[in-house]
A and B are shown apart, each in its own frame.
Chain A
Amino acid sequence: MDLLPPTSFAAAVASSKNTTLKRISKIISKFCGENDEEKFMASCRQFDYETTNNILDKLVKVLTGNDESVSSALESFADRFLEIQGLNKEVFSAFTDKEKILAIEKYREQILEVIDKR
């Protein structure tokens, strides 16, 4: 499953600040390697959104350790923070990857607090 459908990503690139893509590319470089970072930036420039999405999907799976779907990877991430009331339930009940992303973002501060305490 693509994290962002190609047409949506095209819209995102068209309206996103270049700094957003650069920040994402830094994370890609650190966890997937420079080769994927270069591919990511090149695919954005060349409007090759299939490659862009594949790299983003790979990144989510590397970060969560879940190599199934992006949806499952996001759920497994939420599963790690069961002490945060509501997070797990919202992410699991979210219908799309977009909703899952927004549900996680909603609990951002609480998740960071838990991470720092561990």
Chain B
Amino acid sequence: MGIQDLIKSFFNDNQLAELFNRLSDNQLVELCSKFSGNQLVELSYKLIEKSKPYIKNILSNKKSIELEKNYKEGNYSDAKEILKTAIGKINEKGKVELKLYINKIIDILKKGNKNMADLADDILENASTLVTVESKDSYETADSNGSNAVAYVVIAAAVIVIGLLIIKQKMGSGKKAATYTQEDKEKDKALLELVKELAETYDNIDVYLKRK
């Protein structure tokens, strides 16, 4: 199964999966390799945390809190469902514009800033400049400041980051195929066996050193 297929099966929704259409499998792998899983989790969290003032126009307070909680607890499938509801509120013209923003977001991510808080700030700052006067009209619920439009860009960024997380989750270091084979399973279990033995060995070292 290719990465695009994996994304489609995870999102189970063309609107969200289409956000990745402009990127090849190789580009997605390259993007994934720029970040550790931990960094992506942190980036997702920072994005949601920093975009609260915008997102509250689109999602109810309850849903915003749920979204943040899901990211924090690693429940990405539940987070995805909330993002799906938000993206679903955009009209057709807005969706076309959103796809154009995706390239800009990818460009920012490609820089691979080591500080996730700064990267989230970059995305938010750029989201504001990306929203044009015309695009404000593309969103059914856009207000005069265009803050809803900004929120959609941020939500799209969150969808991309969650997509990258899913890819990483499936391919580990970003170098393996996006499938989990019987051989992978055996290797993972063998590594756990090795870890168990080495952990015991380290205990022995500590006991040995204390004895000396």
Contact = CB atoms under 8 A, between A and B. Distances in A.
A7 B79 CA distance: 48
A92 B114 CA distance: 14
Interface in B148-190: 165, 168-176, 180, 185, 187-190
A80 to B, nearest CB: 4
Contacts of B198: 3-4, 24, 56, 101
Contacts of B197: 20, 23-24
B190 A31 contact: yes
A23 B172 CA distance: 26
A39 to B, nearest CB: 17
Contacts of B200: 16, 20
Interface in A92-118: 92, 98, 101-102, 104-105, 108, 111-112, 115, 118
B199 A105 contact: yes
24 contacts: A12-B202, A12-B204, A12-B208, A15-B208, A16-B200, A23-B193, A24-B197, A27-B190, A30-B190, A60-B194, A63-B187, A63-B188, A73-B173, A75-B36, A77-B191, A80-B169, A82-B76, A83-B74, A98-B202, A101-B198, A108-B192, A111-B192, A112-B189, A118-B180
Given A23-B193, A76-B174, A98-B202, 15 more contacts: A16-B201, A20-B200, A27-B193, A78-B37, A79-B169, A79-B172, A80-B169, A80-B172, A82-B41, A92-B36, A101-B199, A101-B202, A111-B192, A115-B189, A118-B185
Instruction: List 5 A-B pairs, minimum CB-CB distance, nearest first.
Output: A76-B173, A15-B208, A79-B37, A105-B199, A15-B204
Q: How many A residues are at the interface, by size bracket? A: 35 or more
A53 B201 CA distance: 13
Contacts of A56: 198
A81 B165 CA distance: 11
B26 interface: no
Contacts of A79: 36-38, 168-169, 172-173
A63 B175 contact: no
A118 B172 CA distance: 14
Interface centre among B193, B201, B204 (most CB of A within 10 A): B201
Interface of A: 3-4, 8, 11-12, 14-16, 20, 23-24, 27, 30-31, 56, 59-60, 62-66, 72-73, 75-85, 88-89, 92, 98, 101-102, 104-105, 108, 111-112, 115, 118
Interface of B: 36-38, 41, 73-74, 76, 165, 168-176, 180, 185, 187-202, 204-205, 207-209
B28 to A, nearest CB: 15
A97 B169 CA distance: 22
A65 B181 CA distance: 13
Given A75-B36, A88-B41, A105-B195, A16 B172 contact: no
Given A4-B201, A63-B190, A105 B37 contact: no
B194 A24 contact: yes
